[in-house]
Chain A
Amino acid sequence: MATVSDALDGGIIVVFEVPAWDSRLPLRPLWVTPDLLSWVDAKPELHDTAFAVGARTLFEHLLTMFCDFRCADHCPPHAGDLKRMTPTKHGIWKMHPPQLRIYGWCPGQHQFIGVTAALESETKADRKLNDKKLNEVRDFIKKHRLERTVLRGDILAVFPHPA
């Protein structure tokens, strides 16, 4: 069985780096797959102002959420930002930036590994897409023998409030 460190060393996942212009200090880890980074960079809808929400592109919203995940005092920054996917026994979570879905798992408390993503509109158009993405994350975990890194439990178990 592999560990998160093994996955990092092997380049299977990378630490999401907070941009220099956000001066906050990172408090918690967020890892993503290189494929997810590439998807975000290449997906036209994320950078098209025609899809903007609140005068920000979907990419800018995603960047804000990733930075908040790493740096905000409270995690998740908002209760609706992270949801556990059903069936819950697999320990797969999805992050909800505006109009986006980021799928992954939590290897520890206040930690997240993003594996794959989809537009919210794509999940509405294809009702089975969420299940496909869940299986994609499960396959990723299995392929890289990361099963033991999956932390299971509800939102209070995985993202407990500070005492």
Chain B
Amino acid sequence: MQSFRTQLDDRRQVFVLLAGEIERQLREAYDRKFRAGLATQSSLADKLGINRSAVHHRLMGHTNMTIETIADMVWALDQAISVKISDPAIINGINHSSQVKSLTTTVGSSKKPALISAIPQTATVQKEKVDV
């Protein structure tokens, strides 16, 4: 096992992780819509009143999106949003509780807790949920 010798400091790790997670979830939401024939980059661009290339750049991580831009993308994709900022120490402390096991499936490893939790969708929710 090997990785790059170059290491990111803690501050960059949080930014890279957060930006990557948001973009990945937006891409997955878009892919679901696209495969279902419910959205294209052009249709999203029309809905948002921007160029198609701007939508492409947002999905591909070529822009540093503001919170407003992220919200726009979530809205255009008919998604819901869920934000969770947590204290790793507190999550580790409650990790053994059966109440939270389903929310922290990857936290129990030697790795650090997930920055962004994966909250399962419920069948009663009308809109698809995007955790940001």
- Which of A's residues lie within 8 Å of B, judged by CB? 14-25, 32, 34, 37, 40-41, 47, 53-56, 59-61, 63-64, 67-68, 72-74, 77-80, 98
Contacts and interface: CB of A to CB of B under 8 A. Distances in A.
Interface of B: 1-8, 10, 12-13, 15-17, 19-20, 24, 27-28, 31, 57, 59-65, 106-107, 109-115
Contacts of A24: 106, 114
Q: Chain B interface mostly helix, strand, loop or mixed? A: loop
Contacts of B2: 14-17, 32, 34, 37
A24 B27 CA distance: 18
Contacts, number: 97
Contacts of A53: 61-62
A47 B60 CA distance: 19
A98 B60 CA distance: 8
A55 to B, nearest CB: 4
Contact of B61 (A15, A41, A61): A61
Contacts of B6: 40-41, 47, 59
A24 B62 CA distance: 23
A24 B4 CA distance: 18
A161 to B, nearest CB: 8
A53 B110 CA distance: 32
A60 B63 CA distance: 13
A55 B8 CA distance: 14
Nearest to B116: A23
A71 to B, nearest CB: 10
B4 A37 contact: yes
Contacts of A41: 4-6
A23 to B, nearest CB: 4
Nearest to A96: B60
